[in-house]
Amino acid sequence: MTGPDQTGNDQTGSSAASHCRSIVELGPQRVRHLLELTDHMAEVNRRPNPKVPALRSRTVCNIFFEDSTRTRLSFEMAARRLSADTMTFSVGQSSLNKGESLRDTIETLAAMGVDAFVVRHRSSGVPWAISRWTDAAVVNAGDGWHAHPTQALLDCHTLMSELSGSSPRRADLAGIKIAIVGDIKHSRVARSGIAAFEMLGAEVIAVAPRTLIPPHFSTPVTQDLDTILPEIDALYLLRMQSERMSGALVPDLSEYTMRFGLTPERVQRMNDNVVVMHPGPMNRGVEITVDPAELPRSVITKQVTTGIAVRMAVLFELLGSGAAQAAPETSTEVGFESQMEEL
């Protein structure tokens, strides 16, 4: 399937500035800008009535070919809080089951006046293909093992906010060491997260069995979680993605938990200031055997809350005031602020 090359550059002729398809494609400047917009959206969400007319008359269509709770519902809520009209495409009840192609489906929906497609698909590259078939903005909500940019953005914003304490959010992650633990080979969350964390200056180390590390992986890797626990500022846990595995890549889940899980014993050895993160859903008893609510710096539920603000920021940047005219280096913050002043 035609899509991004190995550097994340679009090979379809579509304008990358019109979409949110990968962290690498967004680049450092847009990543930082979206994090700044997220600050504004988080403020909107703290209001008694967390709704603004920023995307009134715009239509956002969610197309999820894989199961999802957090991402799908947060995109729906984000669009509604910006006053956009929403459509949720039910794959199981669509003409795709009658043999209609994905391209014909997208072109049909686009003809109904869709301004943005939020797409999750089991195959890598699908968001790039869809962007060739429509003039609408395309947001990648997860494509195969490849990318999940909004998850990476919300993870960065959550971590930067937590590390700053009561002060304003940190401007970057310079000097921060993050351990990502688990099934990295099959994880689009890990790929996007590593790209975003490193883009913002963090040092990232992957902790996993060799069978769960992708080939040609440039991030430092260790199989010894206990050795690095005293050195890290954030511990990012991943679940075992059994639905993407073609065979048994670990000998036994209990052995995996013993070597790579967050157990009560590891919590005791871990610095109290370590921020614990997880993208969900959690496999309790596998990658984590403690109640995360009892951990002093667990931000797992904060990640979910931040996800709404991040997805509001992405939709506003793509569809809001001045989005069509804004060059990649031009901020749309003025457009947002002017709309806020009218409320």
Q: What structural domains does the chain harbor? A: 16-148+307-329 (3.40.50.1370), 150-303 (3.40.50.1370)
Residue 256 · residue 272 · CB < 8 Å? no
Query: Alpha-carbon distance 167 to 31, whole Å?
Result: 21
Mean pLDDT, all residues of the chain: 87
Work out the pLDDT band at 14, boundaries 50, 70, 90.
Answer: low
pLDDT tens for each residue of 258-288: 999 999 999 999 988 999 999 988 889 899 9
Q: What is the pTM of this model?
A: 0.89
Task: State the alpha helices, DSSP H only, in the chain.
Answer: 23-45, 70-81, 102-111, 126-133, 149-163, 188-199, 225-228, 253-260, 264-269, 300-319, 333-341
Give the Cβ contact number of residue 285 at 10 Å: 11
| pLDDT mean over 57-81 | 94
Query: Does residue 148 register a pLDDT over 80?
Result: yes
For 201-228, the pLDDT digits (tens) are: 999 999 999 999 999 999 999 999 999 9
The alpha carbon of 176 is separated from its chain's Cα centroid by a whole number of angstroms, namely: 20
